[in-house]
Structure 1
Amino acid sequence: MAILPKDTFIEVIKNTPLVSIDLIVRNDRQEVLLGLRNNQPAKNCWFVPGGIIRKNETMSAAFARISLTELGKEFARESAIFLGAFEHLYQENFAEAPGFGTHYIVLAHEIQLEDNLPTIPQDQHRESAWFSVDQLLNDPAVHPNTKAYFE
């Protein structure tokens, strides 16, 4: 499950959809964890944690890796509820290169926390916060693709 060189990854994004996992994480008050994104696509928007599945990586292995990377704690896919497949289309791409956007097929999973998370990594998000569903649906800084999980 090698990480592609940047130029190769750009060609993939130009020519194919990416398959990813989004994590809808709820605490005991049923609030949802969102992060303020550092990178394109959806830069400067509140978004659920998530990441792409790499070639030859099983969904379960990807789920464990993504949860550890995004949440600071590894979760098993079997502990989550599968919410369905969603499609995310963006005009932007991670490289901020002109002329093409990013197309994701997203496998959304809900995680219900039993205890608190450790410190949440800040690689992809410069800030994280818990939102009620009503708050996130009414906040213009929450990305529409995140809101779609709750509408």
Structure 2
Amino acid sequence: MLPTETFKTIIASTPLVSIDLIVRNSQEQVLLGLRNNRPAKGYWFVPGGRIQKDERLEAAFQRLVKVELDTEAEFDKALFLGPYQHFYSDNFSGENFSTHYVVLGYELSLDIDLDTLPADQHQNYRWFTVDELLASEQVHQHTKDYFL
């Protein structure tokens, strides 16, 4: 883990690279969590996280599935949706600089018990139909972009 001041300098200076996990269950519903932290705090969002330095893509995917969903999934069975760009006017620290992510979207099929999901990044979880999430003002636009 980087010291906070170093991490703030990185976020203020360069894009971050991350993976978003677009999880569908057997009813074709999409898993979203209500964000605890900036950016996108207070919005429903897909799980995901940053790729660490010197971490291979497959290893990052597997780590994030474990950390964000408390389960395991095979990288080669996930569907790569492509690269996305996420721009936020704020950042984790609340100081006056933006956050820019280059995000790799991966879709996977999992039936997950919502009660077993971690609460570090999301305070609540819910299954949404695509129509529900596209219609909701509480679902962040960056999440909606995966379905447009």
TM-score normalized by structure 2? Answer: 0.96
The aligned counterpart of 2:143 is 146
| Matched letter for residue 104 of structure 1 | Y
Structure 2 matches for 1:2-151, cutoff 5 A?
Answer: 3-98=1-96, 100-113=97-110, 115-117=111-113, 119-151=116-148
CA distance in 2: counterparts of 1:16 and 1:140, whole angstroms: 29
Tell me if the contact between 1:72 and 1:117 (Cα under 8 Å) persists in the aligned partners: no
CA distance in 1: counterparts of 2:81 and 2:138, whole angstroms: 23
CA distance in 1: counterparts of 2:93 and 2:112, whole angstroms: 34
Tell me if the contact between 1:73 and 1:117 (Cα under 8 Å) persists in the aligned partners: no
SS of the counterpart of 1:43?
Answer: coil
| Matched letter for residue 116 of structure 1 | I
CA distance in 2: counterparts of 1:131 and 1:57, whole angstroms: 31
C-alpha displacement of 1:97:
1.1
Tell me if the contact between 1:38 and 1:44 (Cα under 8 Å) persists in the aligned partners: yes
CA distance in 1: counterparts of 2:130 and 2:6, whole angstroms: 38
Q: Percent identity?
A: 53
| CA deviation string 1:60-103 (max 9, x = no partner) | 111011111100112221120000000000001011112x1100
CA distance in 2: counterparts of 1:28 and 1:78, whole angstroms: 19
TM-score normalized by structure 1? Answer: 0.95
CA distance in 2: counterparts of 1:43 and 1:14, whole angstroms: 18
CA distance in 1: counterparts of 2:113 and 2:53, whole angstroms: 29
| Matched letter for residue 16 of structure 1 | T
SS of the counterpart of 1:24?
Answer: strand
Aligned residue pair count: 147
SS of the counterpart of 2:147?
Answer: coil
Tell me if the contact between 1:23 and 1:109 (Cα under 8 Å) persists in the aligned partners: yes
Structure 1 residue runs of 4 or more that deviate by more than 2 Å after TM superposition: 115-118
CA distance in 1: counterparts of 2:33 and 2:143, whole angstroms: 11
C-alpha displacement of 1:6:
1.1
More helix by share: 2
